[in-house]
Amino acid sequence: MRRLAVVLLFLLAACSPVPGSAPDITAGPTGAPRPADAAEVSAPPSTPEATPSCDATASLRPTGPPPEPGGMPPGSTMAKIAARGRLIAGVDQNTYLMGFRNPGTGTLEGFDVDMAREIAKAIFGDPTRIQFKVLTSDERIPALEKGEVDVVVRTMTINCERAERVAFSSVYYQAGQRVLAARGSGIGGPDSLGGKRVCATKGSSSLTNVANVPAKPTVVSVPNWTDCLVMLQQGQVDAVSTDDTILAGLAAQDPYTEMVGPQFTQEPYGMGVPKANEDFVRFVNAVLERLRADGTWAVIHQRWLGGLDQAAEPPAAKYRD
């Protein structure tokens, strides 16, 4: 059913000219069914004051260029992955442009999916030696803690709270949180969210960020970002707030919506790795160094996010040791 909805959204986006004004979907809840597990958030999951401080974007320095495919150091995490025959990567299937299932082919595509394939390519010399495990925002950290995935490449903001539970690569993309609303709604950014209902996914830093803006909107949590778009379309929320990368994908699927207001947070994306696998963090960082230097990052960026930030450079890596 959800697949059908996504297909329809794609068709709509492909066929419709951008309208001058949006239909009136701001009248309030319509009685239409809500996504499973949608819930009003009564208290923010954490506050800026409660969050530990650290230099979480400083990662572990590579020991050198990545070893040749097939030549992983004996006993290393990379050698174990090579022996298994495939990399297991946690990705999204609901976020157009970043990690989504192409309804025409059934394959997973997007910026994060391409980045994950580059890690598989570095181990095997073959980007298709990868098994994707689809994760919601809320499932990312538990999947890493349980060792169900080797790496999570899923619009994951590096922060100190998360860095206590998982390890992060160097920053591979710098996003920022904004607001998406219906065209002509009058909503202009985080300051105009007072008394409004705003959607974000459970387990995302977006939910915490928007729940803590001074305007104090009512925050509604759902499992997937596409659920937020459907709730906006049905008039069950007034706005969606998350990273500009994700909102760009939602806006591309529905020309009646638009991103408004400034970026009001910094969301540095890192690849998540189980905390014990320091050798794999250094390896991933070596691969990222190469992708920045040889132009691969720029090609992947242009393919998916060129419309969002034309002149973007890959973020420089920062290391702590």
Residue 79 is encoded by which pair of tokens?
């050698």
Q: Are 301 and 214 in contact (CB under 8 A)?
A: no
Does 150 help bind ligand GLU (rule: CB under 6 A)? no
- Enumerate long-range contacts of 67-75, CB under 8 Å, 24 or more apart: 69/121, 69/122, 69/123, 69/124, 69/125, 69/126, 70/124, 70/125, 72/123, 73/279
Residue 2 is encoded by which pair of tokens?
């959800």
Q: Which of 196, 258, 187, 261 is nearest to 229 (CA)?
A: 258
Does 224 help bind ligand GLU (rule: CB under 6 A)? no
Does 205 help bind ligand GLU (rule: CB under 6 A)? yes
Q: Are 273 and 167 in contact (CB under 8 A)?
A: yes
Q: Which range touches ligand GLU (CB under 6 A), out of 18-26, 125-133, 203-211, 213-221?
A: 203-211
Whole-angstrom Cα distance, residue 300 to residue 249?
16
Least distance (Å) from ligand GLU to the CB of residue 156?
5
Pick between residue 201 and residue 253 the one whose CB is nearest to ligand GLU.
201
Least distance (Å) from ligand GLU to the CB of residue 8?
23
Q: C-alpha distances in angstroms, 52 versus 163, 164, 177, 236, 278?
A: 10, 9, 20, 34, 22
Instruction: Please tell me what DSSP assigns to residue 137.
Output: G
Instruction: Please tell me what DSSP assigns to residue 289.
Output: H
Residues 227-256 within binding reach of ligand GLU (CB under 6 A): 242-243
Pick between residue 151 and residue 156 the one whose CB is nearest to ligand GLU.
156
Does 157 help bind ligand GLU (rule: CB under 6 A)? yes
Binding-site member from 139, 227, 254, 267 for ligand GLU (CB under 6 A): 267
Q: Which range touches ligand GLU (CB under 6 A), out of 4-12, 154-162, 189-197, 309-317?
A: 154-162
Number of residues that bind ligand GLU (CB under 6 A): 11
Does 112 help bind ligand GLU (rule: CB under 6 A)? no
Pick between residue 155 and residue 277 the one whose CB is nearest to ligand GLU.
155
Does 201 help bind ligand GLU (rule: CB under 6 A)? yes
Whole-angstrom Cα distance, residue 239 to residue 219?
10
Q: Which range touches ligand GLU (CB under 6 A), out of 76-84, 123-131, 202-210, 309-317?
A: 202-210
Residue 100 is encoded by which pair of tokens?
């989504």
Does 204 help bind ligand GLU (rule: CB under 6 A)? yes
Q: Which range touches ligand GLU (CB under 6 A), out of 41-49, 109-117, 200-208, 287-295?
A: 200-208
Upper half-sphere CA count for residue 182 (Cβ side, 13 Å): 21
Element (DSSP H or E) covering residue 169? none
Pick between residue 267 and residue 289 the one whose CB is nearest to ligand GLU.
267
Does 206 help bind ligand GLU (rule: CB under 6 A)? yes
How do strand 87-91 and strand 130-134 relate by DSSP bridges? parallel
* Interacting residues toward ligand GLU by CB under 6 A: 137, 155-157, 201, 204-206, 242-243, 267
